[in-house]
């Protein structure tokens, strides 16, 4: 099973600042990595798939990069609605699909 | 618009059973594999099960294998998850989600809470 480790667990930032979230895989997942955003009481929302492709309707301030075992989600200028929990997920070696433990971006 | 509307869930005693459903619309259901993901209170996301577009390939997480059964009705564009032999550790919000080939979980249901407690 591929283990995804996200860091940091919590990121404390202010609106307008840039956020850099990390996801490390226990083995190579090529570019088969996605990022999701989840707000309290809501279902997750797909942001990025295949490491760097933005999902439909996702603002350009969200960008993804990386391949192999190291991936990054960058939010270029935080808007108030971006404060949430972010998860990475791999589809390279499944079943099972696996998720990282999440990074909380807080004000 | 793509919609996934979940039903079922609730409070059940340990050892009990429950059926979750996910009614879909706005896309050609029989072209997509579908998944169930759960989230225990205050915890992260855990993949539970998946079913291919035609029902020919089915997978389960080890934690639910032999206790949960995924199924789909392509004529009714609906997805189901039968939960049996439920344990306290199965308490979670359960989400259904669509998974286009070579993509990711791009549309999710609203989630339904399953609470296993005596």
Residue-level pLDDT at B72 = 98
Q: Are strands A33-38 and A62-67 parallel, antiparallel or unpaired?
A: unpaired
Report angle CA A26, A92, A20 to the nearest 5 degrees: 60
CB contact under 8 A, B104 and A55: yes
Judged by CB atoms closer than 8 Å, whether chains meet at B108 and A44 is answered as yes
Confirm if B12 and B69 have CB atoms less than 8 A apart: no
In sequence order, the β-bridge partners of residue B56 are none
Cα torsion angle, B88, A87, A82, A105, sign: positive
B34-82: pLDDT as tens digits: 999 999 999 999 999 999 999 999 999 999 999 999 999 999 999 999 9
Tell which of A43, A52, A94, A104 to mutate to test the B interface (max B CBs under 10 Å): A43
What are the pLDDT digits (tens) for B80-99?
999 999 999 999 999 999 99
Q: B3 falls in which pLDDT band (50, 70, 90)?
A: very high
Task: Collect all residues of chain B within an 8 Å Cβ-Cβ radius of residue A38.
Answer: 45
User: Beta strand pairing status for B112-116 and B10-12?
Assistant: parallel
Reported as a single tens digit per residue, the pLDDT across A72-84 is 999 999 999 999 9
Give the mean pLDDT of chain A: 96
In the prediction, which pLDDT does B102 show?
80
Kindly determine whether residue B104 and residue A101, on different chains, have CB atoms separated by under 8 Å: no
- Residues of B within 8 A of A44 (CB-CB) are 45, 95, 105, 108
Residue B103: what pLDDT? Answer: 86
Residue A74: both structure tokens together: 């960058």
Nearest beta carbon to residue B50 from set A45, A56, A95? A95
Query: A97 and B47: CB-CB below 8 Å?
Result: yes
List chain A residues with pLDDT less than 50. none
d(CA B11, CA A7): 35
Residue of A nearest to B50 (CA): A95
């Amino acid at each position: 099973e591929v283990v995804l480790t996200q860091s940091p667990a919590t990121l404390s930032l202010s609106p307008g600042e840039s956020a850099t979230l990390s996801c490390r895989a226990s083995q190579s997942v090529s570019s088969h990595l996605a990022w999701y955003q989840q707000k309290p009481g809501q279902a997750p929302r797909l942001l990025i798939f295949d490491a760097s492709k933005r999902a439909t309707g996702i603002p350009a301030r969200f960008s993804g990069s990386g391949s192999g075992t190291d991936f990054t989600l960058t939010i270029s200028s935080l808007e108030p609605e971006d404060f949430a929990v972010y998860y990475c997920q791999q589809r390279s070696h499944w079943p099972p699909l696996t998720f990282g433990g999440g990074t909380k971006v807080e004000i | 618009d793509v919609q996934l509307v979940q039903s079922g869930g609730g409070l059940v005693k340990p050892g009990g059973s429950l059926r979750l459903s996910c009614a879909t619309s706005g896309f050609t259901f029989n072209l997509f594999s579908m998944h169930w993901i759960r989230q225990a209170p205050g915890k992260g996301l855990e993949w539970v099960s998946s079913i291919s577009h035609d029902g020919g390939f089915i997978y389960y997480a080890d934690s639910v294998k032999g206790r949960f059964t995924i199924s789909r009705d392509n004529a009714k564009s609906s997805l189901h998850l039968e939960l049996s032999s439920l344990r306290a550790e199965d308490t979670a919000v359960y989400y259904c989600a669509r998974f286009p080939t070579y993509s990711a979980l791009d549309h999710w249901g609203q989630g339904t809470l399953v609470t296993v407690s005596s």
